Chains A and B, each alone.
Chain A
């Protein structure tokens, strides 16, 4: 058992989850500090920042990813009784920044990255008994997951492109993520228009790059079915699925 809702509404959290939250908070905070250090002193400590030449953008990217991890850790802190699919998403939000920064940042990321990956693994470990629930939710929402992943690629590539094209890429990615988050709540023609607005401008501005037109096509192919149906990542509260105190 990972967490349970106390009859009085007070969450009782397992030691494993407490440790996961602590590691996540510390790892993300250290990650933010690492990003700031890259921004401020990157050129003087190249050996510690993966020998990267452009430490300004590296610092900004590190800050953004560490902020994502911090948000996930805080969400775990405030919603220990979140349904299993949501906790799986939060574990992914801890693991992805942790792993991505390992590939780019260098020694400065060793400690925060390790802490974030450990936190993610502990959260995932707490989901062992809810694997089926997570798998079923993942299958139901797979096109939405793929859309978010593709939107993440847009944000990432937009951050590397700079200028107008870069801004359009970042905004397009964020808009696609927002559309997935709000799926089922917007009128279909509006959602479709917004999805086109998210996918096409960056691809058109950088058509020669090969990758952005490919992502745009996939974004539309995955995004259309994803935004056309209500999602269930925001699954009903455990309390409603399993009456109070009856959760296995």
Chain B
């Protein structure tokens, strides 16, 4: 064999190996849905919720609400002229939410979407919270009667609303008029809930540091870390099958980082924790234009939690409609509840008490700002999985 032939064959062999490698990478790209962000049945409810018939369309709107770790902890009972909302006892985030505070806030957000969609679809409604008692799983009963349709500005944002975990525009403050407008979003239905906004540099720095410390504390708590990781979905097939949980696409990563995260083998719990801490410290708290703390008079009262959830969703929808971004950041209250559960020094419980006026208790906190990226959708379970037979 001549030297030239040898070199040619070596070149062809190397090329073949590279092509085979790109084929393997291409298959991984397909298998992990790298080019299919926001596609597939897991994301279909965002596009087709209005195609549903009758009361199912209202449930279709409800399931698009924000909820803790995307557990979608809801069930719906449909009857003529009535929808019942239940907490799904099987869907919890364990040590992250030991007293189910976030769960009922999420249910409140779903209830708000349902009510807004009902008005838009021509249903007058009467809502009864916790109709079977404060400790029941029966969260709400919504009685519906035909009326003139009224699509509000908020209802138009239901399918556009997504939690935005990207960095926000730095140095661009939230106008006072926006904060005032959001203060007007409360009503008699949310009388026990209120948002407290923190816009000053020192306040933001203080809350930012607290959020980073709370994230570190959650990561250091093996039970909380495991409970968090249990809802992290890293396989595309798992996302399309289970249609819940936290995904790489919704994590607020750059497109390149998200693609690499999906192409590489699944991350360990430790690596996921580290990535979360980095995002909280280096991108999210650094670029918050303001923090909001949602408080009620009694954060252990499921009725008030539902009211808080309704107000939270109104604020999120308003923010979406006005070109702003919002991220739910529950680390402080998650840690405060955990301290209470373990009966340890209430470091974060005390810090939260100092942040809100006397007579108020924190339900959850958010950061808001001007978006740098359009957020991706989170998966949603189909109506068949959440409507009781």
Contact = CB atoms under 8 A, between A and B. Distances in A.
B30 A160 contact: yes
A207 B19 CA distance: 18
A229 B227 CA distance: 61
A210 B260 CA distance: 8
Chain B CB within 10 Å — which of A53, A157, A166 has the most?
Answer: A53
B19 A222 contact: yes
A146 to B, nearest CB: 5
Contacts of A157: 26, 29-30, 35
Contacts of A165: 35
A28 interface: no
B259 interface: yes
A210 B254 contact: no
Nearest to A208: B255
A53 B35 contact: no
Interface majority SS (helix, strand, loop, mixed), chain B: helix
Interface residues of B, number: 30
A143 B15 contact: yes
A221 to B, nearest CB: 7
A210 B255 CA distance: 10
B247 to A, nearest CB: 15
Nearest to B19: A146
B26 A211 contact: yes
Contacts of A139: 9, 12
B15 A208 contact: no
Contacts of A218: 15, 18-19, 22
A193 interface: no
A89 interface: no
A211 to B, nearest CB: 5
Contact of B35 (A149, A166, A214, A215): A166
Contacts of B33: 160
Contacts of A149: 19, 23
A39 interface: no
Contacts of B39: 54, 162
A77 interface: no
Given A146-B19, A150-B19, A160-B30, A210 B36 contact: no
A166 B22 CA distance: 18
B105 interface: no
A15 interface: no
A156 interface: yes
Interface in A193-213: 206-211
A142 interface: yes
Contacts of A208: 254-256, 258-259
Interface in A114-163: 139, 142-143, 146, 149-150, 153, 156-157, 160-162
B30 A156 contact: yes
B263 interface: yes
Given A161-B36, A166-B35, A209 B30 contact: no
Nearest to A146: B19
A51 B242 CA distance: 12
B129 to A, nearest CB: 36
A116 to B, nearest CB: 20
B22 A150 contact: yes
Contacts of B41: 53-54
Contacts of A142: 12, 15-16
A146 B15 contact: yes
Contacts of A162: 36, 39
Chain B CB within 10 Å — which of A51, A139, A211, A222 has the most?
Answer: A211
A148 to B, nearest CB: 10
Contacts of A215: 22, 26
B263 A210 contact: yes
Contacts of B25: 210-211, 214
Contacts of A214: 22, 25
A206 B40 contact: no
A139 B39 CA distance: 41
Interface in B1-30: 9, 12, 15-16, 18-19, 22-23, 25-26, 28-30
Contacts of B258: 208
B240 A209 contact: no
Contacts of A211: 22, 25-26, 28-29, 34, 263
B241 interface: yes
Contacts of B30: 156-157, 160
Interface of B: 9, 12, 15-16, 18-19, 22-23, 25-26, 28-30, 33-36, 39-42, 240-241, 254-256, 258-260, 263
19 contacts: A53-B40, A139-B12, A143-B15, A146-B15, A146-B19, A149-B19, A156-B26, A160-B35, A161-B36, A166-B35, A206-B35, A208-B255, A209-B34, A210-B25, A211-B22, A211-B29, A211-B34, A215-B22, A222-B15
The 7 A-B residue pairs with the shortest CB-CB distance in the complex, in nearest-first order: A208-B255, A161-B35, A53-B240, A208-B256, A53-B41, A153-B26, A211-B29
Given A142-B15, A150-B22, 10 more contacts: A146-B15, A146-B16, A149-B19, A160-B29, A160-B35, A161-B35, A165-B35, A208-B259, A215-B26, A218-B18
